[in-house]
Structure 1
Amino acid sequence: MSADDDLNAFLTREEIPPTGEGPLSGKSVAVKDNISTEGVPTTCGSAMLDGYVPPYDATVVTRLKEAGATVAGKTNMDEFGMGTTTETSAFGPTENPAAPGRVPGGSSGGSAAAVAAGEADLALGSDTGGSVRCPAAFCGVVGIKPTYGLVSRYGLVAYANSLEQIGPIGPTVEATAELLEVIAGPDPHDATTREPETTAYADAADGDVEGLTVGVPTELVEGADEGVVERFEAALDDLRAQGAETVEVSLPSVETAVQAYYVIAMSEASSNLARFDGVRYGVSGGYEGNWNESFAAAREAGFGEEVKRRVLLGTYALSAGYHDKYYKKAQDARAWVRRDFAEAFEEADVLASPTMPVPPFEMGESLDDPLQMYLADANTVPVNLANLPAISVPAGETEEGPVGLQLVGEAFDERTLVRAASAVE
């Protein structure tokens, strides 16, 4: 039995060969199982899509193959991206190779675990509220959540369209930035993409932070685990020693960011997942009785508990009489978050915080307490609400496992993030 079998990092171990030569020639890239791969199963970690084989490649997969990469297989994930631990997968949890007995983070836990264990050189995940950065932090690797619109979402099975981005995971900042270069750029299949000024990111990993101003949002440090704060402060000391300046900034809106995020994400999920009705996609609900009963039976059989919870809450938030009370307020809060970030960037070039306020959970610890899992996203979800780029880079370890440092940048300024993160590394 290979290491990846022990970890349950891969749901499908099938190599997809390259179609060209380029910067990723000779590299293997694991792909999260919510990204379409022609002829290779794409399950989203759900019984609903068990056995589903897409007829086309996602744009990012096409670009990987054209750049010379071999796709190593499809990685385990929280069902439909809904989770922070990769324990809501219908196909069992993934183990954390960097912290045995603890979760690898989620929802892209399989991708981060595959890179951390050396089962793939690089990986792709998707980040709706921290789902690339959280597992990168928990597994001690690098993860980038790109600016919204930098990377095509064509072929990504949607969870919450206005929040999510496909992002790269790698062992080093430079290697992760090289993967971002390959997948970045406009796509005629995705109208939300745009042409950035540059997609040259890897050469920015020069560690030169002389004169860089790093803003530290006090709200994202308060309440974090003591060991996490110690590692975070040590990383800031290291940046200062290399010529960076640190200043305190404030993001008062982050106190409402988690609530706003979950209302928006669950509302969009309730709409997106309506297609899984046992007719167009998913397990059949049978043909007895009326269509509503068949629809309900298909979703009862195909969806796990966390997906059902989020779809129900999202449907409630969008229902007549509650739309203005919940969804509209959440969108107002989102605008507040964007404004706070804009003001913070008037004082700093990048913002720094712990990626996750806690070390990796023990396996099973958060399953009985979903609220604990939701609150763990407090440092990552504001970035998605504001559609900004962020990177998680290893910042040492506690007794419970790895700690990540998160750096947040202005829209389409991934180069500055790569430069700052390479100095931490």
Structure 2
Amino acid sequence: MGASKDELLKVARTVGYEIPEGEVDDYKILFDRAKDYTPTPDVNLMPRRNVHFPEKSENHLNAWAWRCECTHVNPSSSLLKGKTVCLKDNIAFAQVPCLLGTDSFTDWTPTVDATVATRILEAGGTISGKAVCENLSRGAVSVSAATGPVHNPYAHGYTAGGSSSGTAALVASGASDMGIGCDQGGSIRIPAAMCGLWGMKATLGLVPYTGIASNDASVDFVGPITQTCMDCAALLEAIAGVDEFDDRQVAGCPFPGQVPKYAADLTKSGKDGAKGLRIGILKESLDSPVLDDAMKEKFYAAAKEFEKLGASVEEVSVPLHGSARVIYSVMSKMGNHMGMLGRATGRRQLMMTDLFQKKNFPYSQEALSKMSVFSREGLFSGELGWTNYPYAYSKAVNLSRKLKDDYNEALKNFDLLLMPTTLRPSFPLPAADCSPVEHLEANKGMTENTAPFNASGHPALAMPIGFIPSKENPDIQVPASMQLVGRFWEEATIFKAAYAWEKTVDWKKF
């Protein structure tokens, strides 16, 4: 896509230069010469079949964004053989439309495959479709997608969490065996918690984010949402490891052939996986007045089960955790602001230029009016920050490193940190047309214990621990969840402890 003569002249004048008439054609050649350079997926080895928009009859939770069937003709492993997997609808999968939960722009059909999609197929899995995500992947309550609210499988009309709302709803209902979510502040773990599932946000960089629409690269994560701990381990094993694109894959990240055999290791450790571990209940994670009383009671009962499994469990304090969400919010909102405006720089990765073109910058009033409250609030907050407090971003980045160091200090004395995943369980969906304040209020208690680990980069697993009564209607029982956090690259330790708990406790009866 080249620049017109008028566009070139206008841009040059903006920087104070009038291009001589005889040089305009030369500049046009310079701007038009380079073609884009993106990988082309092999759709003969990985054919996309039965691509269609779901009928209401097959979408009673409103969780499918698009349907398809894709299995690798000659997979390289059988790790996921026989498993269907849905992808959050910000993950590129060529020839299958991607909605991104919005109608502020439409008709984007990616031309590339995300690395995680390719790896699922190579491991023998079947990609069965795209799962609804919140509007531009912003928000923790499943009410903002342009296709309508996503319902919780355990309570119709209740939130499934977000922003990977559709993924969790489909997996929890059995419509898909496994799912992939993306997590920029809790968006894997929150819907997993709301829907009684296992959701892993792995160590920073362990799973490549290549080919996925990003909010802010510094807090982007992609990972599994599953019905069991074993499935969670197997799916993470399939998608983890260095690829040739993602510059977030820092020192310590294994290559695909070096990824630990998470699932096989669980069959060996079994019920003994927690024996001898030192588990620290994070004091500050329980300090908020928003914490639901039934959630707190269920959490302490679940934590006590680790003692029966041979672990030591005691309280640990990380004071900065109490301010961690503020640090994360400054990083995320100011970083996301530049990304949403198409101005993020400094990256060496696969860039989805077709998506940038679809967004048609700068945004029009019409496009902005179709964004969710969360997206608009993020844009406004980001602009306010960069305009009035430009130093705040760099300070937040520095403090995120201190946050990482403080958690690491606690993890010198403990193998794992333990806390509630969310401070409240699922609740009735707010009205789609409720006020901005009501929309934002609905997110309270959702990210306090999840977002800190997007900022720090530590691996964190949400796991179901039973049902508690809905505050709004005690006759309705909804899932509760706790979160295990470990050292960098020690997902295996988290899985072993969680699997031992799962093997011993039937969470649905706990």
The 8 Å contact of residues 351 and 409 in structure 1, kept in 2 or not, is answered as yes
Q: CA deviation at 1:178?
A: 0.2
Once residues 278 and 202 of structure 1 are traced to their aligned partners in structure 2, the CA distance between those partners, rounded to angstroms, is: 37
Bigger drift between 265-274 and 276-285 goes to 276-285
Correspondence 1:390 to 2:460: yes
Higher RCO, 1 vs 2 (CA within 8 Å, ≥6 residues apart): 1
Which ranges of structure 1 fall in alignment gaps of 5 or more residues?
Answer: 286-291
Secondary structure of the residue aligned to 2:70 is coil
The 8 Å contact of residues 373 and 439 in structure 2, kept in 1 or not, is answered as no
Once residues 410 and 283 of structure 1 are traced to their aligned partners in structure 2, the CA distance between those partners, rounded to angstroms, is: 38
Aligned to 1:288: none
Correspondence 1:420 to 2:497: yes
Once residues 207 and 311 of structure 1 are traced to their aligned partners in structure 2, the CA distance between those partners, rounded to angstroms, is: 48
Kindly tell me: are residues 404 and 375 of structure 1, through their superposed partners in 2, closer, same or farther at Cα, counting changes over 3 Å?
closer
The 8 Å contact of residues 225 and 358 in structure 1, kept in 2 or not, is answered as yes
The 8 Å contact of residues 32 and 111 in structure 1, kept in 2 or not, is answered as yes
Aligned to 2:127: 71
Secondary structure of the residue aligned to 2:127 is strand
Query: Structure 1 counterpart of 2:458, which letter?
Result: L
Identity, % of aligned positions? 33
Q: CA deviation at 1:48?
A: 3.0
Kindly tell me: are residues 237 and 279 of structure 1, through their superposed partners in 2, closer, same or farther at Cα, counting changes over 3 Å?
closer
Aligned to 1:334: 400
Figure out how many residues of one structure are paired with residues of the other and give that number.
415
Kindly tell me: are residues 283 and 389 of structure 1, through their superposed partners in 2, closer, same or farther at Cα, counting changes over 3 Å?
closer
Once residues 372 and 254 of structure 1 are traced to their aligned partners in structure 2, the CA distance between those partners, rounded to angstroms, is: 22
What are the Cα deviations for residues 140-180 of structure 1, in whole angstroms up to 9, with x where unaligned?
Answer: 01110011110111101011111111010111001111000
Correspondence 1:262 to 2:326: no
Secondary structure of the residue aligned to 1:105 is coil
TM-score normalised over the length of structure 2 = 0.77
Q: CA deviation at 1:279?
A: 9.8
Which has the greater radius of gyration? 2
**From 336, 351, 358, the counterpart of 1:282:** 358
Secondary structure of the residue aligned to 1:91 is coil
Once residues 221 and 286 of structure 2 are traced to their aligned partners in structure 1, the CA distance between those partners, rounded to angstroms, is: 25
Secondary structure of the residue aligned to 1:111 is helix
What are the Cα deviations for residues 364-385 of structure 1, in whole angstroms up to 9, with x where unaligned?
Answer: 1796141451552101111111
What are the Cα deviations for residues 54-108 of structure 1, in whole angstroms up to 9, with x where unaligned?
Answer: 0010011011111111111100111122110121211111000023321001111
Aligned to 1:315: 383
Once residues 342 and 101 of structure 1 are traced to their aligned partners in structure 2, the CA distance between those partners, rounded to angstroms, is: 40
Matches within 5 A, 1:35-114: 35-114=91-170
Once residues 380 and 133 of structure 2 are traced to their aligned partners in structure 1, the CA distance between those partners, rounded to angstroms, is: 21
Q: CA deviation at 1:19?
A: 3.7
Which ranges of structure 2 fall in alignment gaps of 5 or more residues?
Answer: 1-54, 344-352, 471-477, 503-510
Kindly tell me: are residues 193 and 329 of structure 1, through their superposed partners in 2, closer, same or farther at Cα, counting changes over 3 Å?
closer
Matches within 5 A, 1:101-140: 101-140=157-196
**From 249, 255, 261, the counterpart of 2:316:** 249
Once residues 456 and 57 of structure 2 are traced to their aligned partners in structure 1, the CA distance between those partners, rounded to angstroms, is: 38
Correspondence 1:207 to 2:261: no
Q: CA deviation at 1:8?
A: 0.6
Query: Structure 2 counterpart of 1:379, which letter?
Result: N
Query: Structure 2 counterpart of 1:232, which letter?
Result: F
What are the Cα deviations for residues 26-75 of structure 1, in whole angstroms up to 9, with x where unaligned?
Answer: 11000000000000011211113422100010011011111111111100
Once residues 86 and 148 of structure 1 are traced to their aligned partners in structure 2, the CA distance between those partners, rounded to angstroms, is: 26
The 8 Å contact of residues 278 and 284 in structure 1, kept in 2 or not, is answered as no
Matches within 5 A, 1:177-256: 177-193=233-249, 195-196=253-254, 198-205=259-266, 206-208=270-272, 209-223=274-288, 224-256=291-323
